[in-house]
């Protein structure tokens, strides 16, 4: 049955000229049907280079929003409109306005894991991979950063700047399940431990490597170490195990599962392609503000 629906998805995709984007945290059956697999911003940028009549984004809502901003001429759909990000939902416009009132000269840096309506307030938009590089280049020493507290703390440590987290306790429920004990347990067994910067401070400080999903993937690919414990969502671990079967790759915790990412199923992907649901539309004024912030960020990094 799974093989039949997978083939139907491919048939409809090819017939309609659609492309499927799948985040690393999706289940493997969906990743294997995707034209592009990766982290959220890279997927949206991959889509910009592809010729397509429609984009199906298998991820959470803020990712599909980002794809819609960067691909304004192509309709973008998400297979389940309730697949949201709890971290993105922790931030409010009031949080941003209050922080800006208190620190009027501080630029606003929004993590890509935020809603479009919040990105519209940003001076810069960053990923977990480039947050440190971007903030190092910003001339101001005080930065308003939202919505992940742990990533803000990581950036402050790396740059020496004063980072004001908004909200004060924004976090990803998947990454805060990890503990220092989890890290030490695997290090004692001879594993290299790699973790996402959304993890708590004591987890980051005792790990061998801290990086985004893309950076962790590259670490695994290039590492001479054949025993690696990974501190991020289980979907990424499954992908890494499949791509690098010669290495022993294990989850730091098997219960690190994003329930919203797992709302996307083969059946919902099939329905989205066939019925063209659910379309993600960003108001043009908001999209324009986001594009300005992204362009400013890319320019700062020398990418445009």
Count structural domains, the chain: 3
Is residue 127 domain-shared with residue 143, that is, in the same domain?
yes
DSSP string, 242-263: HH-TTSEEEES-TT---TTGGG
For position 50, what pLDDT does the model report?
76
Name the residue among 154, 122, 148 with its Cα closest to residue 300. Answer: 122
Q: What local confidence, expressed as pLDDT, does residue 2 receive?
A: 62
* pLDDT per position as a tens digit, 66-98: 999 999 999 999 999 999 999 999 999 999 999
Examine the fold and report which residue of 124, 153, 171 is the final residue of a domain before the chain moves on. Answer: 171
* Residue 64: predicted pLDDT: 95
pLDDT in the model for residue 186: 98
72 located within any domain: yes
For the chain, percent of residues with pLDDT exceeding 90? 92
Q: Are residues 78 and 129 in the same domain?
A: no
Q: Are residues 148 and 192 in the same domain?
A: no
Residues with pLDDT less than 50, the chain: none
Q: What is the pLDDT of residue 263?
A: 98
Distance CA 156, CA 147 (A): 14
SS3 string of 140-174? Answer: CCEEEEECCHHHHHHHHHHHCCEEEECCCCCCCCC
pLDDT the model gives residue 1: 52
Find how far residue 86's CA is from the centre of its chain: 12
- Domain boundary residue, one of 125, 152, 171: 171
The residue segments making up the domain with residue 92 are: 87-171
* Domain containing residue 8: CATH number: 3.40.50.10800
Q: Which H or E run contains 23?
A: strand 18-23
Report helix, strand or coil for 52: coil
């Amino acid at each position: 049955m799974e093989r039949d629906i997978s083939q139907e998805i491919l048939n409809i995709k090819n017939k309609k000229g659609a492309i499927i984007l799948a985040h690393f945290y999706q289940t493997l059956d969906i990743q294997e049907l995707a034209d592009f697999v990766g982290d959220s911003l890279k997927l949206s940028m991959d889509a910009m280079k592809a010729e397509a009549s429609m984009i199906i984004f298998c991820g959470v809502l803020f990712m599909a929003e980002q794809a819609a901003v960067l691909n304004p001429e192509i309709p973008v759909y998400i297979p389940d409109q309730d697949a949201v990000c709890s971290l993105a939902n922790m931030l409010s416009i009031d949080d941003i306005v209050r922080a800006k009132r208190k620190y009027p000269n501080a630029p606003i840096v929004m993590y890509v894991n935020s809603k479009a309506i919040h990105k519209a307030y940003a001076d810069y938009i960053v990923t977990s991979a480039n947050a440190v590089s971007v903030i190092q280049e910003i001339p101001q020493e005080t930065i308003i950063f939202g919505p992940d507290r742990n990533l803000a703390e990581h950036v402050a440590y790396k740059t020496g700047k004063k980072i004001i987290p908004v909200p004060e306790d924004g976090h990803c429920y998947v990454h805060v399940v990890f503990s220092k004990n989890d890290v030490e347990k695997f290090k004692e067994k001879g594993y290299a431990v790699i973790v996402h910067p959304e993890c708590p401070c004591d987890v980051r400080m005792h790990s061998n490597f801290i990086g985004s999903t893309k950076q962790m993937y590259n670490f695994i690919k290039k590492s001479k170490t054949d025993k690696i414990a990974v501190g991020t969502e289980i979907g990424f671990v499954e992908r890494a195990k499949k791509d690098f079967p010669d290495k022993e790759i294990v989850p730091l915790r098997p219960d690190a599962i994003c329930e919203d990412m797992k709302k996307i199923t083969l059946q919902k992907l099939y329905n989205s392609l066939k019925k063209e649901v659910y379309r993600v539309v960003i108001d043009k004024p908001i999209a324009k503000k986001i594009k300005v912030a992204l362009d400013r960020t890319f320019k700062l990094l020398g990418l445009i």
